[in-house]
Structure 1
Amino acid sequence: MTRLDASDLATHLGREAEAVCRHYLGAGRRQGNYWLVGDARNTPGRSMFVRLKETAKGPAGKWTDAQSGEHGDLLDVIRESCGLTDFADVVKEARTFLSLPRPEPAPATKKRPGTPAPSGSAEAARRLVSMSQPISGTLVETYLRTRGITALHGTGNLRFHPRCYYRPDDHGPTETWPAMIAAVTDLRGTITGAHRTWLAPDGSDKAPIDTPRKAMGDLLGHAVRFGIAGEVMAAGEGIETILSARQAIPHMAMAAALSAAHLAAIQFPETLHRLYIVRDNDPAGDGARDSLVERANAAGIEAIVLSPVLEDFNEDLRRLGIDALRANLRVQLAPQDVARFWLQTA
């Protein structure tokens, strides 16, 4: 990447300065035209300030740490907050962020400040996602690692909420638990829903509640997306199933539809030529597989089914290990995709 390319990327990030700060510097807060935080590594505090709008003093996205004297742009924020050392990884993360969903603009009809969004609505989902923080260094990372999932690149649609509301039923008392929040998006990247996985306080497992997973918003046809789909992508039901498959094929775009019924109805990107269906070994998974194969073929898209050895790919990962998972998936890929995706991981 040339300096001009990097400069252009920093300029694009500057146009989204507040969104960048909320995503990577979630320990801070906005004050006037600046975002205040402890430092570029997202430490709580107020010594670092990021300019959110272009002024006579300089462009949006420039920042200064009054305590250390450090200064830079939003590419530096991404590098420091994510702990990246290779500039190519910084560029990749920045481009991934710029492809992430943004909450839709507020409707023209004004609401009184503090007016709650309708429970379970797409608007409520967008608010929940916006109130959450990146997963780096949080209980979400801890939880996923207990599930054998360590490849967390391109997971900007996963967020962490330290005190997410949980109500056992319509009449029970409201509880709060830490939660993994997953943004559900349409093909344009607009947030249409959210999926919550409530976690144990130490992140060692799901929370000990009756229903530790719930979705909200408009889900039909949409998904939790990892990577940018081109001619090839994979789609499956669960987030952990998809993240497990990404352990073996980390450079392929994938999407979690959250249920068998929603997988069968997932929307296809216009660029898609080949779809890998990451199935679960159960009757619902078989039904979703058959429906999706039929829909894909009718749209002129080649459909290839990826099957686990055990119940699902996360169980394969945890019980059989990463080498067995890779071996099983490799033989199921089209030969051209072995060269396209697999050899990048070798």
Structure 2
Amino acid sequence: MNNIYVIHALLAAALFGASTPFAKLLVGEMSPWLLAGLLYLGSGLGQAAVRVLRDRGWAPSGLAKGEWPWLLGAIFFGGVLGPLALMFGLTRTSGATASLLLNLEAVLTAVIAWVIFKENADRRIVLGMLAIVAGGAVLSWSGGDAETNDWFGPLAIVVACLCWAIDNNLTRRVSASDALFVAGAKGAVAGTANVGLAFVLGANLPAGQILFGTLVVGLLGYGISLVLFVLALRGLGAARTGAYFSTAPFIGAAVSLVVLGESTSAAFWIAAALMAWGVWLHLTEHHEHEHVHEPMEHSHRHVHDAHHQHAHTFAWTGDEPHEHWHRHEATVHKHPHFPDIHHRHSH
């Protein structure tokens, strides 16, 4: 299996996880709607700038006509509804508890991937997900939240997790496309929509220093993190990318404890242990069997590995990796693999 995709998922988790406590600090400075919008706007503007510099100008998206509904759906659930639910939840939940509850995103991502998109589910992955669910249940039912001691905040965070789970599975459908475009489009559209809604509701922009800090948190925690997440989806599939990404809440919880000085209860550490066990089960999964590759055609960045032994219809200089439209012929073989863009087969 290609470890680079695992690294992408873990780096995405680290950036997003660390951003949650900082978003918690910013909640008191502006309305949840405005904060959600500025975080995504920072992501969108930053990714657009990087893409323009990379391509030396604005390049076409590269998305096929049939891929646009998937991307627009991902933007709506993951870029508009999800952040709003999270920002509301952070107003009624401690940063450490919120960070651990975000582990439920991985569980919901996997359930949708298995039930709706028929992604493979090994026993080890299922057991890990159950451990994460148990950890979330301990947090939700302990009644020990240090700030509000109610269930509205945790419920809002669970709704955010569901929105992002839908987003993850929809984004998987366009994961072979330009990751910078996918991340930039999601950030720009979602950011503009949420900022516009905030202004309609009477919000005002914060002071310059807070505004700049919010945009930077959005660029790192929502922008660069999302690019890495899309790359991981390309190589791991939705369920397993979600499993690796579930390390994010531990990073967020650690930052909350160190930076915000939050206190914890016994229930917090029980939940952390259950979730850590679940993540370990995910990280140590091994999936290998004989499988069939049906003929397919698509375009994405690749090297001429075992899955890319094709001729070129243009003058090729031998440079790798490179990107062009190519065809995969039918193949039968056996090797360790994830449900990536070349292994979406039945079992």
The TM-score bracket by the shorter chain reads under 0.3
Q: TM-score, normalised by structure 1?
A: 0.23
Report 1 or 2 for greater relative contact order, CA contacts < 8 Å, sequence distance ≥ 6: 2
Flag the structure with higher helix content: 2
Q: TM-score, normalised by structure 2?
A: 0.23
Flag the structure with higher strand content: 1
